[in-house]
Amino acid sequence: MFNDKLKEECGVFGVYNLEGKDVSPTIYYGLLALQHRGQESCGIAVSDTFSNSYNINSVKDMGLVNNVFNKENLSSLKGNIGVGHVRYSTTGASVRENAQPLVLNYMKGTLALSHNGNLINLEELSHELKKSGSIFYTNIDSEVIASCIAKERVLSSSIEEAVCKTMKKIEGAYSIVVMSPRKLIGLRDPYGFKPLCIGKKDNSYIFSSESSALDNIGAEFIRDVEPGEVVTISSKGIESNKENMIDKNLQGRCVFEYIYFSRVDSFIDGVSVYDARVKSGEYLAKQSFVDADIVTGVPDSGNAAAIGYAKESGIPYRVVFVKNNYIGRTFIKPDPNERTSAVQMKLNVLKNIVKDKRIVLVDDSIVRGTTSNQIISMLKDAGAREVHMRISSPPFLYPCYFGIDVPSRKELIASSHTKEEIRKIIGADSLDYLNTDNLSHLVNDLGICKGCFTGDYPIKNIKGKQKKLVR
């Protein structure tokens, strides 16, 4: 809802209907349900395993799912197997050419690929491929991954084998759905940075970045693709290859998927995002109780943590913000000289509730601090006596190499200010963050990546491989 937020990279979705029914409508609804993971471009590619043709048809363009797809182009996508993608760019410019799924021809015919994540050895790989004559059209990871698969396919006996070999070459975060004209393959990097799960509806198998999209389309959740696993769906049913899996202790799920990116109704690797957020609020309350009249969350991502804080602290939870759901992407920003702010246009305060109250305000993170400052001002203008800010994640101090788009170090308020300085800047009466130690407890002690909080990443020697730092 606010620009002053961390940005997720992408969402992937894939469907294989064993009975031959068209899957493009299901993918369309799946992408709509994953839209929060990427709003720059989107696309669907389909193939028909029952025809003699090995063609892949696709529609992709800049824009939201609602804008790119219409009845006409959706019904032109005939086929019982398909992949979809929603994209927000971290690497690669925001241009039409970079829209996914990538669709290409190679030795064995055609291939489509949707990717969520960020490689750290991209330049190395790309350089090597070019030395043997490869050409690339885009500057996105996905094209290099596809080229690797195509190259491995020449010496492999199946597309799955080529995919498994490719996993040994690419390093970083990736949840991918690959479609050959007869197979649908879902894979997840060995660290499990990004989520990917499997669902089923009637005679369709489904891959989805998030389980909530399965709910929205009326599908049943089967299980998560495991970190390092390659799951292949074909006319023979479902098969799994686990040769690239690593020790569970080395896994490094992105903790922001729980705290902010994923929808609150998703489950990732067995953990409810809602529960993780509620717990974060509970830990915050234990860690940093403050006497107040009401607890509230910054909509929408702060709400569940606020409920947790309320539960633990005994202070009543109240909704105090009213959102304007009509502020769209083309919203013209207010003149900075005017006193009207974009935040004020998006949120209003229920004055009756706020007046004369001491408020605990819970949010998931502070990036630049500007939004927090405006929201706290609004509460004070509406008569709040005190506003105590509680953040349901630790301070964001280090670059993310795995797909979170973070502003430059200079803009990142926590990397250049003390907690007290930040408190003053945002105008809060007190401020506290969740302790790093509590992070793993939120997710039942699953292996997570704490790199952005501690500088200690699941993959070592990143610096040598990766020239791109935080921008």
Q: Which of residues 358-417 bind a second copy (CB under 8 A)?
A: none
Structure tokens at 43: 């696309």
| Burial (Cβ within 10 Å: 0-12, 13-18, ≥19) of residue 153 | buried
Angle CA(54)–CA(59)–CA(62) in degrees, nearest 5?
Answer: 150
Burial 22-52 (b: 16+ CB within 10 A, else e): bbbbbbbbbbbbbbbbbbbbbbbbbbbbeee
217 binds a second copy (CB under 8 A): yes
Among candidate residues 246, 236, 141, 143, the one with its CA nearest the CA of residue 188: 246
Q: Is 230 helix (H, G, I), strand (E, B) or coil?
A: strand
Pick one of 12, 27, 44, 111: the residue that binds a second copy (CB under 8 A). 111
314 binds a second copy (CB under 8 A): no
Pick one of 19, 247, 338, 420: the residue that binds a second copy (CB under 8 A). 338
Binding mask of the shown chain, residues 142 to 181, with x at each position contacting a second copy by CB under 8 A: ----xx--xxxxx---------------------------
Task: Using the minimum distance from each CB to a second copy, give the nearer residue, 249 or 325.
Answer: 325
Q: Which residues contact 307 (CB under 8 A, 6 or more apart)?
A: 278, 281, 297, 317
Burial 226-239 (b: 16+ CB within 10 A, else e): bbbbbbbbbeeeee
348 binds a second copy (CB under 8 A): yes
Q: Which stretch binds a second copy (CB under 8 A): 76-84, 329-337, 433-441, 451-459?
A: 329-337
50 binds a second copy (CB under 8 A): no
Name residue 341's amino acid: S
**What is the rounded distance in angstroms from the CA atom of residue 60 to the CA atom of residue 257?**
26
Determine if the peptide bond prior to 395 is cis (ω within 30°). no
Pick one of 49, 142, 204, 212: the residue that binds a second copy (CB under 8 A). 212
Cβ of residue 379: shortest distance to a second copy, in angstroms? 13
Q: Which stretch binds a second copy (CB under 8 A): 243-251, 337-345, 447-455, 461-469?
A: 337-345
Q: Is 422 helix (H, G, I), strand (E, B) or coil?
A: helix
Pick one of 91, 134, 287, 435: the residue that binds a second copy (CB under 8 A). 134
303 binds a second copy (CB under 8 A): yes
Pick one of 131, 236, 460, 467: the residue that binds a second copy (CB under 8 A). 131
* Residue the block writes with tokens 């070019």: 130
Cβ of residue 80: shortest distance to a second copy, in angstroms? 15
74 binds a second copy (CB under 8 A): yes
261 binds a second copy (CB under 8 A): no
Chain-centre distance for alpha carbon 239: 26
Catalytic residue flag (residue 42): no
272 binds a second copy (CB under 8 A): yes
328 binds a second copy (CB under 8 A): yes
Pick one of 13, 29, 260, 261: the residue that binds a second copy (CB under 8 A). 29
Pick one of 33, 170, 184, 197: the residue that binds a second copy (CB under 8 A). 33
Pick one of 3, 240, 324, 416: the residue that binds a second copy (CB under 8 A). 324
* Residue the block writes with tokens 């896994």: 251
Residues belonging to the active site: 10
